[in-house]
Structure 1
Amino acid sequence: MRKEITLQVDDSYIKQLRQGYPLIHQEAVKSKQPPEEGAVVKLVDSKHRFIARGYYGKQNKGIGWVLTYHKDEMVNAKLFQSKILTAINKRQGFYQSEDTNAFRVFNGEGDGIGGLTIDYYAGYYLINWYSEGIYSFKDDVVRALDVLGNYYAIYEKKRFHTQGKYLEDDDFVKGERGLFPIIVKENGMHYAVYLNDGAMTGIFLDQRDVRKAIRDTYAKGKQVLNTFSYTGAFSVAAALGGAEKTISVDLAKRSKPKTMEQFSINGIDFDQHEIIVMDVFDYFKYARRKQLQYDLVIVDPPSFARSKKRTFSTTKDYPALLTDVISITKNHGIIVASTNNASFGMKKFKGFIRLACQKSQANYKILEQFQLPSDFQTNEQFIQSNYLKVCIIQIQKNK
């Protein structure tokens, strides 16, 4: 049994925690010496009255996560099993789906355990660990999945930093090793997934609803530009939706063979589409120079990126990025504007869109907006958990 450490909470944070806020901030607790990663912590007020119980694990701006607000509930294997099984029961519709077999099974603080996510890919589980603290509970999490049985294998990604680097070793945990790529289904589309090849798998599951909308509503007959295209998942959706042509642009050299692979497994001739390895910002300049204009532009940049030429941050640079996008979008064209930056909400994101359109002297209409799909359960008391923001906008240029 793990040793439990009692931490007194500063008075200014007690109300927030009692209301269900799950992240434990460093400044919220009075501790002369920090506990070791994975230690069970009991949070109390100045009169030693119970507030919550959780674990210590440094992640982003926090030092741990609350796991229970019930005084008599202990942090042990039973708690982990209960929370994981509850989450899985909520996803039974996904397990039974005939046209989608890749989805999120457990979504961190949204399902009651911050720092932990579990994804399902056509019979394979992928556990993502976001701190050394949560990783120390590995046996409890794996045992909870074993209760389910009926899987091919479990893989893992250690996404916490050690001396500035992601930990990368053998991602296999147990079961029968997969033959990669695994081909998964998403709303009838197919995608190649790798669970044993670094930090990324080949597809971002949180964009499922957006890909469907592109395929079903916006792509038919369009010239589609997919920027920051990664493995071309949006391009595949557009092509399957009847796009006249897609152009995928990404700086990473491996994006080209990865995108070719995604096209091929869907029976699409990738030679009929363009796949360009290039800095997206340089491509904007090229497109303007060539007077290229697109019917549909998809822009889903990383929250932060650094190349030899520039540093990009969505927090300060998204309006300028969107101004570039508008400049190569046809009049009455469509822009799929997306960000996964958790540090601001939809209201501020819409402000970025308004600023870019004002600068571009363009009117706009938001046709649809998306946040996380239903399998990405969020915590209402922790707004950062609902990080995805997507607006599909139509542009009307005034000049």
Structure 2
Amino acid sequence: MPTLVDTLRTAHARRGALLTDARTTAFRVLHGGADGVPDVTVDRFGGLYVVSLYRDFTASEEEALLDAAVAAWAPDSLYLKRRPREARVLANVAKETLAPETAARGAPVESLTALENGVSFLIRPGQGLSVGLYLDMRDTRAWLQQEAQGLTVLNLFAYTCAFGVVARASGAKRALNVDASRRVLEWGEENARLNAQPVDRYDYIAGDVFDWLKRLAKKGETFDLVVSDPPSFSNTKEARFSAARDYARLAEAAARVVAPGGRLVACCNHAGLPMKRFEAMVAEGVALAGRQGRALSSSGPSSLDFPSAPGEEPALKVHVVQLR
């Protein structure tokens, strides 16, 4: 029977061409049960590895896992994230317990630059549960690199503006980023500068996405490509959002600012929402906006580093619709 170290080495080796791609240093090296280690994922950013736990591990289990990761991969640095499933647990546990600012193994890292398909991103492993880049979107961002030339792009729920940065790096005329948090938008501005892109503060809007979609629609502003990648659940001062309940409402609001012939890139990372239901919600929203849509594609994360267990659908869903 293989040891945990053997299992981790095998998972790493399965990443194939990603291991030798000089243009990409950021990818997932362990994806839970599909790689033989349930309730654990590990993301790699060069020599930095970020371990996420999705159940309550005992202290001895954590130590054994971290020791095995060091033995299997020889990382420069290893950071640990504990991700309890229930929101009430999150609210009652100190941030330092969930996402320690210090490295669990190896050298401390305040920040580093990771590459994805030749585009640079600033990673901060001690900043919280999220470190600056969601790796399951790599294939969708690669698709955007092929499509963005000469387009105007609206990036909703922008986080650190990865879609906006990729769009500008690929020749987009404009990329407007909207997120509730000014802090992550400033991180996005840093990502833009890291790629020698000019930064216009008017393209980094902090506020409620639904509110800003209404404002843009009222002004008659439209975009050739709208990327909508919301969290599964979110609370702002203005509203509560649940993807499984509210995505049709979001798709309606987003569809109102898609230019004729433009595309809506609807994204959702919710394991409990099947792709067929998600596609139906997007279609419902497009119809409610009074638009006609033609589905172009449906996809998920790369199977190379985000494999699915047999009979299991990926949590990430990406549905592209062209609107008239």
Band the TM-score falls in, shorter-chain normalisation? over 0.9
SS, match of residue 132 in structure 1: coil
How far apart are residue 170 of structure 1 and its match?
3.5
Q: Which runs of 5 or more residues in structure 2 are unaligned? A: none
Number of corresponding residues: 316
Please give the residue correspondences for 1:1-399 in structure 2 after superposition, counting only pairs within 5 Å: 79-133=3-57, 136-160=60-84, 161=89, 164-165=92-93, 167-178=98-109, 180-217=110-147, 219-271=148-200, 274-373=203-302, 374-383=304-313, 386-396=314-324
* Distance of aligned partners of 1:136 and 1:115 in 2 relative to their CA distance in 1, 3 Å threshold: farther
1:345 positional shift: 1.4
Q: Residues 276 and 147 (structure 1 numbering): CA distance in 2 closer, same or farther, change over 3 Å? A: same
- Please, what is the CA RMSD of the aligned residues? 1.8
Gaps of 5+ in 1: 1-72
1:89–1:251 Cα change, 3 Å: same
User: In 2, Cα distance between the equivalents of 1:162 and 1:389?
Assistant: 25
- Using structure 2 for the length normalisation, give the TM-score: 0.92
1:227–1:248: 8 Å Cα contact kept in structure 2?
yes
State the alpha-carbon separation in 2 of the partners of residues 364 and 132 from structure 1. 44
- Contact kept, 8 Å, 1:156 with 1:173, in 2: the verdict is yes
For 2:247 and 2:265, the matched residues in 1 are separated by 13
In structure 2, distance between residues paired with 1:247 and 1:162: 32
- Report the secondary structure of 1:301's partner residue: coil
SS in 2 for 1:201: coil
> What secondary structure does 2:284 align onto?
helix
Cα distance between partner residues in 2 of 1:323 and 1:163: 32
Give secondary structure in 1 for the equivalent of 2:128.
Answer: coil
Question: What TM-score, normalized to structure 1?
Answer: 0.75
SS of the aligned residue for 1:95 comes to helix
Mapped to 1, the partners of 2:58 and 2:145 lie a distance apart of 38
**2:195 alignment partner AA:** N
Larger Cα-atom Rg: 1
Contact 1:338 1:389 in 2 (8 A): yes
Point out 4+ residue stretches in structure 1 off by more than 4 angstroms: none
In structure 2, how many angstroms separate the alpha carbons of the residues matched to 1:82 and 1:268? 43
1:258-282 residue CA offsets vs partner (Å, 9 max, x unmatched): 1110101111011286111111111
Structure whose residues are more often helix by fraction: 2
Cα gap change, 1:351 to 1:162, in 2 (>3 Å): closer
Distance across 2 between alignment mates of 1:235 and 1:163 = 31
For 1:97 and 1:337, locate their aligned partners in 2 and report how far apart those are by CA, in whole Å: 28
Matches of 2:50 and 2:21 in 1, distance apart?
19
| Distance in 2 of aligned mates of 1:251 and 1:345 | 27
Q: Distance in 1 between matches of 2:252 and 2:323?
A: 11
Work out whether residues 123 and 131 of structure 2, in 8 Å CA contact, stay in contact via their aligned partners in 1: yes
| Higher RCO structure (Cα 8 Å, ≥6 apart) | 2
> What is the CA deviation profile of residues 215-253 of structure 1, one whole-angstrom value per residue up to 9, with x for unaligned ones?
112x11111111110010000111011110111011112
Give distance in 2, aligned partners of 1:362 and 1:278.
26
